[in-house]
Chain A
Amino acid sequence: MDMTNNFTARVKRSKFLSLLSRFARDPLGLFGLILVVLMVSSAVLANWIIPYDPIALDILHRLEPPSMAHIMGTDQLGRDVFSRVIMGGRIALKVALVSISLALSCGLVLGLIAGYGPPWVDRLMIILFDTIRSFPTIIFALAIVTLVGPSMNTVILVVIITTIPVYGRIVRAQTQSMKNNEFILAERAMGAGMPRILFVHLLPNIIGPLLIIASMDIPAVVTIEAGLSFLGVGIRPPTPSWGSILNDGYSFIRNTPWLIISGGIPLILTTLGFTFLGESLRDIFDPKLRKDI
């Protein structure tokens, strides 16, 4: 017994090591990992990193180019852009995590119901999913913002509404392909109820690929948050967001290029980092998800 345990542990470790070495041989994935680690740690440690209060005004030093005192310069109200960029990353990550996990849970439940439930429920769900997916995202988001009013919660709501169908469809397809498998039929024959079959037996088989897809949605959500904030209908000022820094930079584009440069670069690096990392993780863990050969 002890020996078998030892053996499985060794197999597990070597599997882990081979994964790690494959990862190390993928320079883009590694690059992505570094960017993501940088981004996440700067968001977590934001309070200790920022040299200034991100919303403190200093009108005497407005629109300054980068200097030793302000490494990314100051905006039109004299606020330190570096501090705002760091705090903006925190907001972006928060919106992404909250909205994706909520959308994932809702999509999971709806998808399981659609895939396992009676056909009319399935048809209804599919039409609802397809309808929501047929709204152009940003345009639909602007309509929601007008109704509910702009705020961080609205941004989260928009992301949830527009991504539930994506997860729902994937879960539904997986459930349907799996629900006639022998282990499910056996479970049913033994008298297991629907919740038990769905959440104890189907869910663990579906969740893996779904989590990879969800992690690859982080850049898209960060983009939506920044985009809506850029339009002035996302995160409310004075709370910093990369989008609102870009919006300030757009208004003062003829005075100084620094605001757009400092607001855009972290956004680009974050989306790149998560995309490279996500692609690499997907290739390692689930090559089936890969679209190209």
Chain B
Amino acid sequence: MWIYLAKRTALAVVIIITAISLLYSMILMVPGDPTAVILGPRSTPEMREALRADMGLDRPAIIQVAGFILNVFQGDMGIDVFTNRPVSQIVFEQLPYTIILIIAGISWALVLGIPLGCYSAIYRNSFIDKLTGVFSVGTIAIPAFVIALYGLLIFAVQLRWLPAIGAGEQGDLWDQIKHLILPAFAIGLGWVGYLARLVRASMLEVLGENHIRTVRAFGLPEKIIIFRYALKLAILPTIALLGVGVGYLLSSSVFAEIVFARPGIGKLIYESVLTRNYPIIMGSVLITTIIFVLCTMLADIVNAFLDPRMRENL
């Protein structure tokens, strides 16, 4: 287990370092003056010169990339050119909103998807099972931002049941929850079906195994067999998927935040794209990527902890 832990952590660090180098060399690869890209078309030559010295662009590329990596590991991602505040500070201000949204989205999907998957596996080929199958494929296929738009159109604009924009009044928990419902619905819907399918498939596999037959031979009630013995194994692929899922959720939360005008990383990046504020974009991409890498790592480690067979897969 410890060897696995060390190897997996090393892999995550290597990936993060490669990611930073890739991102940073992307700026260097773009034809033209990177400072002009960062400062936009209206910048003066003096501003560009100052920024070039600031960013150390006069040094060789390798040294620049190495310096940037060192800075990132010290928590320094540069200064926002527009507000003169540290990029990390701006990004971390917005991060909690996105994390809350993602947790809300995945939670309701888990609460609905896992029982639905178990039910479909137990009552295989029943009406509910078939309905779940169609529903799963359907909701996985529909883009999250279309669901967000339709949710906004139906529940906020036409029916006026839920608020349309913002994250709610600071300190008013009920208001904040009301603002969270639609975006969380939009980013979670596809996951309900996905999880249900996954749990159903692995549950069917587990139910055919010997130890379940043994438990059944002892005459334990079906409910206990499913929830105490089978689910413990059947949940493993779901845990592994959740790590990867964070990446997709980060992407779909960009849309949810923009459609519902919620603060968060997605909205921050989007606004920075429109103003071509490159330091902020780099910072946000880095932070979200690091979060994603850490989540997949965590999922892998939990998986390896629960299922020793996984430890060999590295």
Contacts and interface: CB of A to CB of B under 8 A. Distances in A.
Interface of A: 28, 127-128, 130-132, 134-140, 142-148, 219, 223, 226-227, 230-233, 246, 249-250, 253-254, 257, 260-261, 264, 267-268, 271-272, 274-276, 279, 291-293
Contacts of A144: 26
B251 A138 contact: yes
B68 interface: no
A153 to B, nearest CB: 14
B134 interface: yes
Given A134-B296, A230-B145, A291-B197, 14 more contacts: A131-B15, A134-B247, A135-B247, A135-B292, A136-B247, A139-B254, A142-B254, A146-B281, A147-B30, A230-B255, A232-B274, A257-B158, A260-B150, A293-B204
Contacts of A268: 141-143, 146
A250 B259 contact: yes
B137 A254 contact: no
B30 A148 contact: yes
A219 B201 CA distance: 23
A136 B149 CA distance: 21
A138 B18 contact: no
A292 B237 CA distance: 12
Contacts of A293: 201, 204-205
B137 A275 contact: yes
Overall SS of chain A's interface: helix
Interface of B: 11, 14-15, 18-19, 22-23, 26-27, 30, 37, 134, 137-138, 140-143, 145-146, 149-150, 152-153, 157-158, 197-198, 200-201, 204-205, 247-248, 250-252, 254-255, 258-259, 265-266, 269-270, 272-274, 276, 278, 281-282, 284-285, 288-289, 292-293, 296
Nearest to A130: B15
Contacts of B157: 253-254, 257
B289 A135 contact: yes
A65 to B, nearest CB: 14
Nearest to A141: B251
Nearest to B120: A292
Contacts of B15: 127, 130-131, 134
B197 A292 contact: yes
A232 to B, nearest CB: 8
A254 B137 CA distance: 32
Nearest to A134: B293
B26 A143 contact: yes
B31 to A, nearest CB: 10
B134 A28 contact: yes
Nearest to B259: A250
B140 A134 contact: no
A144 B140 CA distance: 26
Given A134-B293, A142-B270, A147 B146 contact: no
B128 to A, nearest CB: 16
A43 B247 CA distance: 32
B184 to A, nearest CB: 18
Nearest to A276: B137
15 contacts: A128-B18, A131-B18, A136-B292, A142-B285, A147-B278, A226-B146, A227-B143, A227-B145, A231-B258, A253-B152, A254-B157, A260-B149, A267-B143, A267-B146, A291-B198
Nearest to A27: B134
B149 A250 contact: yes
B41 to A, nearest CB: 11
A254 B158 CA distance: 9
Top-5 shortest CB links A-B: A292-B201, A138-B251, A136-B250, A275-B141, A131-B18
A231 B282 CA distance: 18
Contacts of A148: 30
B23 A143 contact: yes
A158 B296 CA distance: 23
A292 B140 CA distance: 15
A28 B137 contact: yes
Contacts of A253: 152-153, 157
Contacts of B247: 134-137
A145 B254 CA distance: 15
B251 A137 contact: yes
Contacts of B272: 146
Contact of A135 (B27, B143, B285): B285
Contacts of B282: 143
Contacts of B198: 291
Given A145-B273, A146-B276, A253-B152, A246 B146 contact: yes
A246 B258 CA distance: 13
A142 to B, nearest CB: 5
